[in-house]
Amino acid sequence: MASVASLREHLVEELNDLLNAEQQLIDALPMMAEKASQRELKAAFKNHLAQTRTHERRVSQALRQLGEQASGKTCEAMEGLLEEGQELMSSADPGALLDAMMITAAQKVEHYEIATYGTVRTYAQVLGERSVSKLLDQTLKEEKAADKKLTSIAEGAVNKKAAKELQEHPAGVTETAGELLEKGAEWVGSTVGGAMKTVKSVMPAGQASDRSSSGSGTKRGANGSRRSKSGGAQSSRNERSRGRSQSRKR
């Protein structure tokens, strides 16, 4: 950045910055008006577009009164703010939420312009450039009024409608909850299944065999040998039958 030798030179640089900022805004406002859903917000963007064209002319007039010409300097601050606004506009569908997001972007622009116009107006006053100061003060008042209008629109309707949009579309919420429950059930099933596999893999072979056998109806006898539940019952019946036969023979 080139060195600045005087406050007047700094004023000229700031005016050139503002001139380009207004030109960028003139290009952006029609799209914002088109994207707006709320009627009052759409009208506000259109009205401010007309004002912005006037602001551009005033800055050019201020430069001429100072004996300066437009330098063609790019206002990087406005470029960044509008780029951010473009990202917001592409991140939501038309509706109250998008309107609220565009008001956010527009008020960031207004606050930047209010700060800059307030500064250059004061510089012009200090330097004794009363006609320039008067021009810039007119624009400053209009920028403040535009910001106040956006606040009124946001607080009057847009913000409340944006907050209610989720309640007005419960189907999407239910679907999301159902998907989460389904994923949760799948996770539980896979986790339990994986845990069972892990238990079997670390269990001693003999113990695993015992558990497997007990599930098929076998058990270990008092002497350590294994016998079938059904086999044990049949053996008892045979012994009782042999006892009755021996009693008859006697």
Comparing CA positions, the residue from 94, 81, 74 lying closest to residue 29 is 81
The pLDDT > 90 percentage for the chain reads: 58
Cα end-to-end distance, the chain, whole Å: 129
pLDDT tens figures, 1-17: 567 889 999 999 999 99
Which are the contacts of 125, defined by CB distance < 8 A and separation ≥ 6?
Answer: 133
* Cα 164 to Cα 157, 168, 226, distances in angstroms: 11, 6, 71
pLDDT tens figures, 36-82: 999 999 999 999 999 999 999 999 999 999 999 998 889 999 999 99
Three-state DSSP state, 217:
coil
Are the C-beta atoms of residues 47 and 63 closer than 8 Å to each other?
A: no
Strands 218-220 and 226-228: antiparallel
Q: How far apart are alpha carbons 237 and 232 in whole angstroms?
A: 9
* Cα 117 to Cα 120, 123, 128, 140, 169, distances in angstroms: 5, 10, 16, 6, 43
Are the C-beta atoms of residues 218 and 210 closer than 8 Å to each other?
A: no
pTM of the model: 0.65
What does the block give as tokens for 248?
């008859």
More confident residue, 243 or 131: 131
State the alpha helices, DSSP H only, in the chain.
Answer: 7-35, 39-65, 76-89, 96-126, 130-153, 159-168, 170-202, 205-215, 229-249
More confident residue, 15 or 183: 15
The predicted structure's pLDDT at residue 38: 94
Residue 88: which pLDDT band, with cuts at 50, 70 and 90?
confident
CATH class of 7-170: mainly alpha
Are the C-beta atoms of residues 83 and 49 closer than 8 Å to each other?
A: no
Residue 238: which pLDDT band, with cuts at 50, 70 and 90?
low
Sequence spans of domains, the chain: 7-170
Which are the contacts of 22, defined by CB distance < 8 A and separation ≥ 6?
Answer: 52, 55, 56, 59
Q: How far apart are alpha carbons 14 and 16 in whole angstroms?
A: 5
CA dihedral 60, 62, 68, 74 (to 10 degrees): -50
pLDDT tens figures, 113-142: 999 999 999 999 999 999 999 999 999 999
Are the C-beta atoms of residues 14 and 121 closer than 8 Å to each other?
A: no
Alpha-carbon torsion (76, 78, 79, 84), positive or negative: positive
